[in-house]
Structure 1
Amino acid sequence: MYSFRKSKKGFTLIELMVVVAIIGVLALLGLRLYTGQQIKAKNAIVKANAGTVQTLIQAELADSTSGEVDTMVGDPDNPSGLIADSGIHVPDGDAQVDNSSAGTDMGFVYVVYDDTSEGSEFFEINGNAFDGGDVYGTPLTARK
């Protein structure tokens, strides 16, 4: 005679819930790592922008005569003329170079002209990191 037993195939509800929970935890870990990598990439762009600005200022200072700041750098207290020629890009918004001491926007590259001591004037360059603070602990400098 035949036995009418049901064959038990498949997964129980508990097993499926455990698998879904594990997948959820792995997805959250992956998302956190991905976000951290995005911030690192954006900070690298800001560092590159600050380095570009430093190179441009240094090149202009090398080309200029003693005591003269070239028109590309423009007014030392407002070096925004660097934007047009530098081609720098900020990931979240417009590229900014300013003479303010830091600004508040993430990705903001700032240039400060320091002429406190005669004969040792220099430009100080840094940028705001996307995770707070400055991208460089010690600012970049450009001097003649």
Structure 2
Amino acid sequence: MPFTRRPPQGPAGGRHGLFRPPRRRRCDPVDQGQGEDRTRRSDLHRDLDELLASLNRTLRGWANYFRHGVSKAVFSTVDDHAWHRIVRWIFHKHSRLSWRELRRRFCRPGRWKLIYDGVEFTGAPSVKVIRYRYRGSNIPTPWTPRPAVASTGD
């Protein structure tokens, strides 16, 4: 199972239901697998925009799978880990770079959002968490009146 089931948090008699964050071992392929494979020092020949686009696709796909659970905190944790891996990769590629220079060259003005050649690192939190979709009258109930069946008079 990809989700961990846990009882609701809060006061007794509070909210009812089960909250399902992604399991820790399901976060590992993104945390320590594909993201770290792409930010190794042996991949310093790649351009930053290629790296950002590749990680955005991977993290968006992973987050789309888990977006129906209680996942926003996990998305932020994975995104934070990926951001630090990318920054470490940039520092290895440009060895004499300072934090001020990194922010000037690779971040949005006034923010720590990584962007290079028009490709912005959006990460997993860019995926909206959808838990309870309103389905209106699409769910039939036993009390829903059924349309009368037209009888054929022979």
Greater share of helix: 2
Larger radius of gyration: 1
Higher RCO (Cα < 8 Å, 6 or more apart): 2
TM-score by length of 2: 0.30
Greater share of strand: 1
TM-score by length of 1: 0.31
